[in-house]
Chains A and B, each alone.
Chain A
Amino acid sequence: MAVITTALSIATEGAPNPGEVVAASGTFTLTALLIAIPLASAALLLLLGRRADRWGHLLGTLAAAASAVLGVVLLVAMMGQPEDARTIGQSLWTWIDVGSFTADVALQLDPLSISFVLLITIVGTLIHVYSIGYMAHDPDRRRFFAYLNLFIAAMLLLVLADNYLLLYVGWEGVGLASYLLIGFWYRKPSAATAAKKAFVVNRVGDVGLSLAIMIMFATMGTFTFSGVNEAIGSVDPDTTTWLGLALLLAACGKSAQFPLQSWLLDAMEGPTPVSALIHAATMVTAGVYLIVRSNAIFDLTETAQLAVVVVGTITLLMGAIIGTAKDDIKKGLAGSTMSQIGYMVLAAGLGPAGYVFAIFHLLTHGMFKAGLFLGAGSVMHGMNDDVNMRHYGALRAVMTITWATFGLGFLAIIGIPPFAGFWSKDEIIKVAFAVHPVAGVAALLGAGVTAFYMTRMMAMTFHGKARWEPDVHPHESPAVMTVPMMVLALGSVFGGLVLLFVGNIEEWLAPVVGFEKAEPGIPVPLLIGLTMAVVVVGAVIGWRQYAMREVPRMAPTQVSWATRAARADLYGDAVNEAVFMRPGQYLTRTLVWTDNKVIDGAVNGTAAGIGGLSARSRRWQSGYVRSYALSMLLGAVVIGAVLALVRFA
């Protein structure tokens, strides 16, 4: 830690003052509608059933769009407020009122949540539009849109809640929506299994969140954000650390961070728009939101912060390495998502210097990764839902728009200036070098690996020679799909610039999460240059390997152990199986055996014994008076005989 502190050169600003919560009035009273509209739409679509099949997708899209418009209105209204009055609270009703325990359904709109609201609603709307085309031939399209709306509502509840308990509701809501959407094609066993896996792994993380909420209530008696921020200072440091670690566990589950990362790759079984919206742009970033939202807690506990940094660093490298070995385009992107969220978590662990950039990267990533996923979906759409990149190649000519949008996303993610990813990722690397140089180096390396696997993906999909399956006739997707991709491509290009220079995101978020400028130990231009060099090297290697040379249609089997490990998701599943599943199975088997043989045996044996005994003794109770008289006389004889024996023998 000493090294780290010396490397710090933090501008000495006070801890962020979250500012007074202003009661909602005027435009801000519409906040609740943000959630209510998609929720009502979801309920309507689910309750009406087949009757809504014809127009269900339109209603769903309209609901998302309405939320998006409302979000923009609220943003404008918020920008009109003075800087210290941008935290708006809206208490809807008292939810739980038991003795000293009260929980309100109350919303809090502040610069942090409005950023998320806009990301969720706008990207969500685009993906709704895209899904109209993508799911056009699916008989269950209405159900799909209902789930999407449900997700939007739950995610908005998550980011708009003013306390951890209500956040937990949203947290579980998005978990449910994620489960339903991963398992959307539930007739496919792999999809059903993947949904279950995502749910179970998320549940592990949820334990962390519920523990955190319980700790909060036990130590502070409150779990509203403002209340916790105020009271956290007087809490025992150890408790604060445990609280931070519990929140980190929750974030790991939801954001697929090490060691709970295994579900995200399998979650790609869901339809591609789902992967784009939930498993790339929004839901998986909820963990980052949680950490950033709990900045008051993490600022007070270095141990938990360090844990966050470690988790983020490990995951960003793991995700990147996994991404290099995947032939499944969606799984490659999923590894990339893990890696990018690793960046965000890393940034969130860097304290006030990093929160803003965690959110910044989250927003830009939301745009370009959604664009990339939609591009992948468009490619799959043209390739008969084949996801194997070894069957792609040379698609640039037939899918020009997809190529272009995917390419812009590609440039954004590998961090080429002035695309969106450059600004956010570069800032994170910078701050990481300032606070934790080791993590900074890892982030730098990660950028190189990112460049490699994204170049590999780009090259294998759009360049080189065509390796199409015989009966595949690639074609460009319809406009309803390409337009959202184009919009997101615009975001990939300008998102970073706009947020940083027009939106001034640092100042925008500072009132909520605080901001301290951190200077790395090495000069910034040098660092940027270094990053660029690493990225270019990664990209060039990738290009040489996959665009210049022939890509085999079958994945090579004679590969190094590193490739095998990466293909096996770095043995995440194997570890889970060995450490948790097998012992659990043995435990259950033993318990089942014990239950069947020992407990049931004892119970059934007792019952059988008593039954047998009764069946035998029942014969004594024949109901015949003479039998009873006989037993009385025999008894008298026996007693008399015994007495005689005792007396005379």
Chain B
Amino acid sequence: MNPTNYLVLSAILFSIGAAGVLVRRNAIVVFMCVELMLNASNLAFVTFARTNGTLDGQVVAFFVMVVAAAEVVVGLAIIVTIFRTRNSASVDEPNLLRL
């Protein structure tokens, strides 16, 4: 095996996640897509760690997980709040960015 395999997998997963963010409207699914992107990057980090023979990449991946967990907590809280007021979890629905 060589790093390219893992990195190609990581790239594919990241792109799928990105496309999912663009295509899906359910905020929860969008969040899942973001998680997928984070996981793809984690895979890349782990691969880098192995390529370089140091553990730093793994530590960074660990921190990414922590941050992702925090992000999920806050993000889902936001979704719940929006759902309460708007009765919808669609990212198109709360187009608050529009005047």
Shortest distance between the CB of A478 and any CB in chain B (Å): 80
Bound CA–CA A623/B92 (angstroms): 8
The answer on a CB contact under 8 Å between A626 and B97 is no
The answer on a CB contact under 8 Å between A629 and B97 is no
The answer on a CB contact under 8 Å between A629 and B95 is no
A94 close to chain B: CB less than 8 A: no
A11 close to chain B: CB less than 8 A: no
The answer on a CB contact under 8 Å between A626 and B98 is no
Bound CA–CA A629/B92 (angstroms): 12
Residue of A nearest to B19 (CB): A633
Bound CA–CA A625/B21 (angstroms): 10
B18 close to chain A: CB less than 8 A: yes
A472 close to chain B: CB less than 8 A: no
The answer on a CB contact under 8 Å between A624 and B21 is no
B22 close to chain A: CB less than 8 A: yes
The answer on a CB contact under 8 Å between B22 and A623 is no
- In the complex, which range does the number of interface residues on chain A fall in? 10 to 19
Looking at B18, B96, B99, the one whose CB has the most chain A CB atoms below 10 A away is B18
B91 close to chain A: CB less than 8 A: yes
Hey, what's the 0/1 contact readout for A461-486 against B, CB within 8 Å counting as 1? Answer: 00000000000000000000000000
The answer on a CB contact under 8 Å between A621 and B92 is no
Shortest distance between the CB of B13 and any CB in chain A (Å): 15
Bound CA–CA A621/B95 (angstroms): 11
The answer on a CB contact under 8 Å between B21 and A623 is no
The answer on a CB contact under 8 Å between B18 and A626 is no
Shortest distance between the CB of A387 and any CB in chain B (Å): 73
The answer on a CB contact under 8 Å between A622 and B95 is yes
A73 close to chain B: CB less than 8 A: no
Bound CA–CA A622/B97 (angstroms): 8
Shortest distance between the CB of B82 and any CB in chain A (Å): 12
The answer on a CB contact under 8 Å between B98 and A621 is yes
Chain A residues closer than 8 Å to B91, beta-carbon distance: 624-626
Chain A residues closer than 8 Å to B86, beta-carbon distance: none
Bound CA–CA A624/B96 (angstroms): 8
The answer on a CB contact under 8 Å between B18 and A623 is no
A628 close to chain B: CB less than 8 A: yes
Shortest distance between the CB of B41 and any CB in chain A (Å): 14
Chain A residues closer than 8 Å to B21, beta-carbon distance: 626, 629
The answer on a CB contact under 8 Å between A622 and B98 is yes
Which A615-637 residues sit within 8 Å CB-CB of chain B? 621-626, 628-630, 633
Which B67-99 residues sit within 8 Å CB-CB of chain A? 91-92, 95-99
- In the complex, which range does the number of interface residues on chain B fall in? 10 to 19
The answer on a CB contact under 8 Å between A623 and B25 is no
Bound CA–CA A629/B31 (angstroms): 13
The answer on a CB contact under 8 Å between B18 and A624 is no
Partner of A630 from B22, B25, B97, B99 at Cβ < 8 Å: B22
Residue of B nearest to A622 (CB): B98
Residue of A nearest to B27 (CB): A625
The answer on a CB contact under 8 Å between A633 and B18 is yes
Chain B residues closer than 8 Å to A621, beta-carbon distance: 98
Chain A residues closer than 8 Å to B18, beta-carbon distance: 633
Chain B residues closer than 8 Å to A633, beta-carbon distance: 18, 22
Looking at A622, A623, A626, the one whose CB has the most chain B CB atoms below 10 A away is A626
Chain B residues closer than 8 Å to A623, beta-carbon distance: 95-99
Which A34-49 residues sit within 8 Å CB-CB of chain B? none
The answer on a CB contact under 8 Å between B92 and A624 is yes
Bound CA–CA A622/B91 (angstroms): 13
Chain B residues closer than 8 Å to A624, beta-carbon distance: 91-92, 95, 97-98
Shortest distance between the CB of A9 and any CB in chain B (Å): 94
Partner of B25 from A622, A626, A628 at Cβ < 8 Å: A626
Shortest distance between the CB of B60 and any CB in chain A (Å): 21
Residue of A nearest to B95 (CB): A623
The answer on a CB contact under 8 Å between A629 and B22 is yes
Chain A residues closer than 8 Å to B97, beta-carbon distance: 623-625, 628
Bound CA–CA A95/B95 (angstroms): 67
Shortest distance between the CB of A615 and any CB in chain B (Å): 16
Chain A residues closer than 8 Å to B95, beta-carbon distance: 622-625
Chain B residues closer than 8 Å to A629, beta-carbon distance: 21-22
Shortest distance between the CB of A634 and any CB in chain B (Å): 10
Bound CA–CA A625/B22 (angstroms): 9
Hey, what's the 0/1 contact readout for A601-627 against B, CB within 8 Å counting as 1? Answer: 000000000000000000001111110
Chain A residues closer than 8 Å to B98, beta-carbon distance: 621-624
Instruction: List 24 A-B pairs, Cβ < 8 Å.
Output: A621-B98, A622-B95, A622-B98, A623-B95, A623-B96, A623-B97, A623-B98, A623-B99, A624-B91, A624-B92, A624-B97, A624-B98, A625-B91, A625-B95, A625-B97, A626-B22, A626-B23, A626-B25, A626-B91, A626-B92, A628-B97, A630-B22, A633-B18, A633-B22
Extra contacts besides A624-B97, A626-B21, A626-B25 (17): CB < 8 Å: A621-B98, A622-B95, A623-B97, A624-B91, A624-B92, A624-B95, A624-B98, A625-B92, A625-B95, A625-B97, A626-B22, A626-B91, A626-B92, A629-B21, A629-B22, A633-B18, A633-B22
What are the nearest 3 A-B pairs in CB distance? A623-B98, A623-B95, A623-B97
